[in-house]
Amino acid sequence: MPQPALAGARAHTRVRAMLVALAALWLALAALSDGLFLSPRNLVNLAVQASPVAVMACGMVLVIVARQIDLSVGSVLGFTGMVIAGLQVEGGLLAAPLPWPAALLAGLALATAIGAWHGAWVAYARLPSFIATLAGLLIFRGAAWLVSDGRTLAPLDESYSRIGGGLSGTILGVPLPVLVLAAVALGLHVLATRTRFGRHVFAIGGSPLAAKLAGIDVRSVTLRTFALSGALAGVAAVLTTARLGAGANSMGTQAELAVIAAAVLGGTSLSGGAGSVGGAVLGALWMQSLENGMVLLDVTSALRQVIIGFVLLAAVAADARSRGANR
């Protein structure tokens, strides 16, 4: 099992390296776009676009640290977002539309329950998390379509849409999605580093058998970790639907790839036991910066996917090399 002090030092080193890499990427994109990338308008758009991925990446850190994976987050985002939009626009089985705060709370509760459902399959039915959440990816991607028969659900309440970070959705000039991300990241950092639950997650990642012998309820911790991941996918669904002002069944498509890539780029080890919330946020910002910059440079969608794929491959290779060097 990795020593906490050593693991913490490695996490800080990775965060510093990510800051340097992010600064280098920004300078390169600014030069290639004649300064357009660093314009205030684009930086605000970048921050708003990166927030949902970064929020989910914060939860993905704990999932991966515990030696699991959650492939369902993008589909949970899409399904939950469609339910939130449907409750506001049509009301569903309730016949009458719900006020947006009630629809929001219902969506968050649903996303948390879905995450716990995945966790139960992994912790108690002993299914590999890859299989359980891959099934969830398929189920809830289809369910997002079935909620509205493929229709876009709009318009959403104007007050709700402010959460998405439009011109009126700011506090002291800071977009609300960025403030939500800051609160989530701070809360998850404290949870991971200052609570018994966080210590148990890292202990399980270091050695599940040793954690069990030490008296840790591995199954309960695993279930709660997936429930947390689901809840944060729900938060991301709120930010996404509010930004769009509508519910679209394509929301969150392939978002799980960006979320996992952000966590790995930020220093979360795929072998478990090591990772940091701050690193995941920087990883999400780096990934979104790359995507945003390539759009500004008019790089085709196909080529963008190729480049991002190579970036993910390089990040995983670096993680493997780092683990080999530390053995």
What digits encode the pLDDT tens for the residues 3-55?
444 455 566 777 788 899 899 999 999 999 999 999 999 999 999 999 999 99
pLDDT tens string 52-93? 999 999 999 999 999 999 999 999 999 999 999 999 998 766
CATH number corresponding to 4-325: 1.10.3470
pLDDT given for residue 165 in this prediction: 80
Compute the distance between CA of residue 227 and CA of residue 198 in angstroms, rounded to an integer. Answer: 14
Beta-bridge partners for 247: 153
Mean per-residue pLDDT, 189-194:
95
Please report the pLDDT score of residue 74 as a whole number.
Answer: 96
As a whole number, mean pLDDT of residues 119-141 equals: 97
Which is higher by pLDDT, 211 or 92?
A: 211
pLDDT attached to residue 10: 61
**Strand, helix or coil for residue 67:** coil
Query: Mean pLDDT, to the nearest integer, of 121-130?
Result: 96
- Average confidence (pLDDT) over 207-228: 94
Three-class DSSP category at 174:
strand
Q: What pLDDT does residue 237 have? A: 97
Assign 172 a pLDDT band (cuts: 50, 70, 90): confident
Residue-range domain boundaries for the chain? 4-325
pLDDT band at 97 (very low <50, low <70, confident <90, very high): confident
The residues, ordered by sequence, that sit 6+ positions from 288 with a Cβ below 8 Å of its Cβ are 46, 49, 50, 53, 258
Q: How confident is the model at residue 170 (pLDDT cuts 50, 70, 90)?
A: confident
- The reported pLDDT for the residue numbered 267 is 86
Three-state secondary structure call for residue 170: strand
pLDDT over 50 (residue 2) = no
Is the pLDDT score of 214 beyond 80?
yes
pLDDT band at 94 (very low <50, low <70, confident <90, very high): low
CA 64 – CA 256 distance, rounded (Å) = 13
CB neighbour list of residue 177: distance below 8 Å, 6 or more residues apart: 47, 48, 51, 52, 163, 164, 165, 169, 239, 243
**Rounded to whole angstroms, how far apart are CA atoms 238 and 145?**
17
Average pLDDT of the chain is 90
E-strand ranges in the chain read 170-171, 174-175
| Token pair listed for 156 | 């959403």
Q: What is the mean pLDDT of residues 230-253?
A: 95
DSSP 8-state class, residue 248: -
pLDDT in tens, 286-317: 999 999 999 999 999 999 989 988 888 887 78
Picking from 2-16, 222-236, 254-268, which range would have the lowest pLDDT averaged per residue?
2-16
Q: Quote the pLDDT of residue 99.
A: 92
Question: Is residue 327 very low, low, confident or very high in pLDDT (cuts 50, 70, 90)?
Answer: low
Q: What is the pLDDT of residue 167?
A: 58
Residues β-bridged to residue 175? 170
User: What is the rounded CA–CA span in Å between residue 223 and residue 208?
Assistant: 14
pLDDT of the residue at 31: 95
